[in-house]
Amino acid sequence: MAPVQTSLKNKRPAGEKMPRADFITSVLLMALSAFVIIESLRMPRLEHRNINPYTIPGMVPAILGVIMGVLSITLFFRAMRYGGYRLSKHTTAATSSSSASAGDGSPQKVGFWHKPETLRVILTVGFCLLYAIILVGWAWYPIATFLYVFGFIVIFEYDRTKGPGEQKRIFILAGVEALLTAVLVSVVFRYVFLIRLP
């Protein structure tokens, strides 16, 4: 789900919300634009083909690099203004909570690595990468899909406070769903849409 806007208007100045993240992003973007500009200047000018000098391949990327450079420098200075260069988390939290007293509480109190959401995101991404990058290329497609769906459901539904004996239902349901998904997707794509599976 995309972040839900609650209104079109926001009185708080942009850039106050996450100066540290903005600071890091702006540095990365500046590096990207520098890289793109240098690469574009180094690109062949195709003189031997006698092309019109205004149509050299590096022209547009170089211009885009410059524009991105300007935008990222703007972001950089804005992040500086709100103290994004302070790399220690506590100082940032202090400044932002003092200025955001009317805002949405203090989300930074719980460390990023200790939030339950972080674990859920890491699990999701890890499982998806395992499936999309490794399993699909390595195992037979239906088996890869079965393993992934089964593993994903069990990981997220298994309750560690209870014994495995009490939760047979989860395993059975996950198995059924994984089997159905694997078989249906494979059959439909292979025989109805005539696609060679990965």
Partner 1 sequence: MFEGLKMLGIGLGNFLTLGTIFNVFWATQLGIIVGMLPGLTATMGIALLTTLTFRMPADNAVLILICMYIGSIYGGSRSAILLNIPGTPANAATAVDGHPLSRQGRAGEAIGIATTGSFLGSVIGMIMLALFTPLIGNFALSFQSIEFFWLAIFGVVISGTLTAPKDPLKGWISGFFGLMIAMIGMEGIHAHVRFSFGNIELSGGIRLIPAMVGAFGFAEVIMMMKHQKVEIIKSEIKRVIPRFMDIAKYWKTIIRSGLIGTFIGAIPGVGEDIGAWVSYDFARRASKESEKFGHGSIEGLIAAETGNNAAVGGAIIPVLSLAIPGSAPAAVLMAAMYIHGVRPGPLIMVENPQFVYSVVAMFLLATVAMFILGLSMVKTLVKVLQVPRSKLMPVVLVLCVIGAYAVESRYFDIIIMVIFGLLGYVMQELDYPVAPMVLGIILGDILDKNLRRALVLTDGSLTPFFTRPISIVLIFFIILSMVSKMRWFNLFMGNVKASIKGLFKRR
Binders of partner 1 among 158-187, rule CB under 8 A? 173, 177, 181, 185
Q: Which is nearer to partner 1, 48 or 109 (CB)?
A: 48
Least Cβ distance, residue 97 to partner 1 (angstroms): 19
Kindly report the backbone phi and psi dihedral angles of residue 138, in degrees, each rounded to the nearest multiple of 5, phi listed first.
-105, -45
Return the number of other C-beta atoms located less than 10 Å from residue 174's C-beta: 20
- The residue range among 16-24, 88-96, 102-110, 161-169 that interacts with partner 1, by the rule CB under 8 A, is 16-24
Candidates 10, 87, 134, 159; binder of partner 1 (CB under 8 A) is 10
- Asked if 111 touches partner 1 (CB under 8 A), the answer is no
Contacts with partner 1 by CB under 8 A: the residue count is: 77
- Asked if 140 touches partner 1 (CB under 8 A), the answer is no
What sign does the CA torsion over 14, 18, 21, 24 have?
positive
Q: Which is nearer to partner 1, 55 or 91 (CB)?
A: 55
